[in-house]
Amino acid sequence: MLNGKRVLLIVAGGIAAFKCHDLIRKLRGQGAHVRCVLTDAGARFVTPLSLQALSEDKVYTDMFSLTDESEMGHIQLSRDADLLVVAPATANILARMAAGMADDLAATVLLATDKPVLAAPAMNVRMWSHAATVANVETLKKRGITFVGPNDGAMACNEYGPGRMSEPAEIVTAIEALLTTSSALKGKRALVTSGPTREAIDPVRYISNHSSGKQGHAIASALARLGADVTLVSGPVNVADPVGVKLVKIESADQMLEACLAAGKLDVAIFAAAVADWKSAKPADAKIKKKPGAPPPALELTPNPDILATVSKPGAQRPTLVVGFAAETENLVANAIDKRTRKGCDWIVANDVSPATGTFGGERNTVHLVTADGVEEWPTLAKDEVAARLADRIAQQLGRPRAVKAAE
């Protein structure tokens, strides 16, 4: 999908710099040409030789190279690329970008560029949440800098929280979103739901499930790459926000339904979220206390709203195409066929979420597409590949040409 695209990768000084080796491999595997700028601090974690071996191109480090700068190399580097990627984007380099500094080659290239810039932040959780970093990120976003991540996770400093650099696969997906947009779904309005819902039992406990949101977020990204105007309604997840979509964050099924109905007239709606079937009938206002010797409290459940069935009802506001998901642990296809009929939707994407499959939280998925014409069995694919194939099928169904035919 990135065949012939030129990426200038700026590697700054953070422990996450080691992920850049895999990022370069993945980009080159997609057909991209990668050239690297390595900061002095970045060279404390990875070497110019390792980046050069993987990119098969010269690595640039010196602002005052006589050979490079005799041809105004910092300007040429900034203009030759289709996209500049800063990974890891440390607190230091984000601050220098926001201030417009040009005190080394990386900062100068970023100041001189007229091309899109993607930043993948990586830093300690306290540094990421510091008011200075928050202000710098907001400034850069207003200038058109795109961000991927950071994710929540364990860090080298033995702390846990937001600040962990996105995984190379996530960064590649963000790069694709910036460089491979097409017009296959231009003018179409899409809604995607993703992740789990959380149904409060009391202020500190809730009912939920293991959905990671990876598949739903990948679908939102794939639709955006085809030019759709995408609204993503997401429960709590630890994956990076997709590039180029409107994100609405919710907690409960009631909130998700409200957000879906507020999306207005749609061409396609895809319900990939794992919505809790039940909620507490009477959530407690205060934490339910455990009393020694007393039996556990009874939990009275009541059904959640059926979001898929509600949106699938005939009427003027019904989307042209409604796609549901069926996460099953047994009788996969039979249950999916039954669900499509009961809910009134057009398609069902069925997947086996048994623990042995690793689908929940994993990187790959095996799905069956159930339509009025029958059942399509798809091979096991990476979740972003499932998303791209589904987006392509949606474009066909809505009467648009196939996406990026030349890349197949």
- For the chain, the straight-line distance linking the first and the last C-alpha, in angstroms and rounded, comes to 9
Residue with tokens 């012939």, as numbered in its chain: 4
Q: Token digits for 281? A: 């009938």
Q: Are the beta carbons of 286 and 232 closer than 8 angstroms? A: no
Between 168-179 and 214-225, two packed helices, what is the crossing angle to 10 degrees? 20
State yes or no: is 157 an active-site residue: yes
| Edge-first strand listing for the sheet containing 374-377 | 246-249, 229-234, 189-194, 268-271, 321-328, 347-352, 367-371, 374-377
- The 10 Å Cβ neighbour count of residue 380 is 11
Dihedral of the CA atoms 221, 222, 227, 231 (nearest 10)? -40
- Sign of the torsion formed by the C-alpha atoms of 53, 178, 237 and 277: negative
Measured in whole angstroms, the distance separating CA 326 from the mean position of its chain's CA atoms is 21
d(CA 381, CA 59): 34
d(CA 259, CA 345): 19
| Choice among 20, 157, 260, 345 that is catalytic | 157
d(CA 250, CA 259): 8
Q: Which residues contact 327 (CB under 8 A, 6 or more apart)?
A: 211, 274, 351, 353, 359
- The 10 Å Cβ neighbour count of residue 294 is 8
Q: Which residues contact 317 (CB under 8 A, 6 or more apart)?
A: 264, 265
SS3 for 45? Answer: coil
Active-site residue list: 157
